[in-house]
A = this chain, B = another copy of it.
Amino acid sequence: MTRRNSIPDIGRLLVSCPDKPGIIAAVASFLHEQGANIVESDQYSTDPEGGAFFLRTVFHRAGLSAIRPDVERRFAAEVGVPFSMSWNFTAAGVPKRAAIMVSRYDHCLLDLLWRARRLELDLDIGLVISNHPDLAEQVRDFGVPFVHIPVTADSKPDAERRQIELLRANFDLIILARYMQILSAQFLAAVGVPVINIHHSFLPAFAGAAPYARARERGVKLIGATAHYATEDLDEGPIIEQDVIRVTHRNSAEELERQGADVERMVLARAVQWHCEDRVLRHGAHTVVF
Residues of A that sit less than 8 Å from B by CB: 10, 19-25, 27-29, 31-32, 35-45, 48-49, 60, 106-107, 110, 114, 118, 120, 141, 201-205, 216-222, 224, 226, 235, 238-239, 241-244, 246, 248-250, 258, 262, 266, 284-289
CB pair A21 B36 closer than 8 Å? yes
> Inside 8 A of A205's CB, which chain B residues have their CB?
203-205
CB pair A40 B45 closer than 8 Å? yes
Pairs A–B under 8 Å by Cβ, sample size 24:
A20-B37, A21-B35, A21-B36, A22-B37, A24-B24, A24-B32, A25-B25, A25-B28, A25-B31, A28-B28, A39-B45, A39-B48, A41-B43, A42-B42, A49-B60, A141-B141, A201-B203, A217-B284, A218-B239, A218-B285, A219-B239, A219-B287, A248-B289, A262-B266
What's the Cα separation between A49 and B36 when bound, in Å? Answer: 12
CB pair B38 A24 closer than 8 Å? yes
Which applies to chain A's interface (DSSP): helix, strand, loop or mixed?
mixed
Quick one: closest B residue to A245, CB to CB? B266
> Inside 8 A of A203's CB, which chain B residues have their CB?
201-203, 205, 224, 226, 242, 244
Quick one: closest B residue to A288, CB to CB? B249
What's the Cα separation between A204 and B235 when bound, in Å? Answer: 9
> Inside 8 A of A19's CB, which chain B residues have their CB?
37
> Inside 8 A of A226's CB, which chain B residues have their CB?
203-204
What's the Cα separation between A238 and B25 when bound, in Å? Answer: 32
Contacting residue for A114 out of B110, B202, B222, B244, CB 8 A: B110
Quick one: closest B residue to A241, CB to CB? B221
What's the Cα separation between A219 and B288 when bound, in Å? Answer: 8
Q: How many copies does the complex hold?
A: 4
- Report the minimal beta-carbon distance from A78 to chain B, rounded to whole angstroms: 13
CB pair B38 A29 closer than 8 Å? no
Contacting residue for A286 out of B27, B32, B218, B288, CB 8 A: B218
> Inside 8 A of A201's CB, which chain B residues have their CB?
203-204
Quick one: closest B residue to A58, CB to CB? B48
> Inside 8 A of A110's CB, which chain B residues have their CB?
114
Quick one: closest B residue to A51, CB to CB? B39
- Report the minimal beta-carbon distance from A206 to chain B, rounded to whole angstroms: 10
CB pair B106 A118 closer than 8 Å? yes
> Inside 8 A of A288's CB, which chain B residues have their CB?
249
CB pair A242 B222 closer than 8 Å? yes
> Inside 8 A of A221's CB, which chain B residues have their CB?
239, 241-243
Name the residue in A19, A107, A114, A249 with the highest tally of chain B Cβ atoms < 10 Å from its Cβ: A249
Contacting residue for A246 out of B60, B222, B239, B246, CB 8 A: B246
Name the residue in A10, A27, A32, A248 with the highest tally of chain B Cβ atoms < 10 Å from its Cβ: A32
What's the Cα separation between A222 and B227 when bound, in Å? Answer: 13
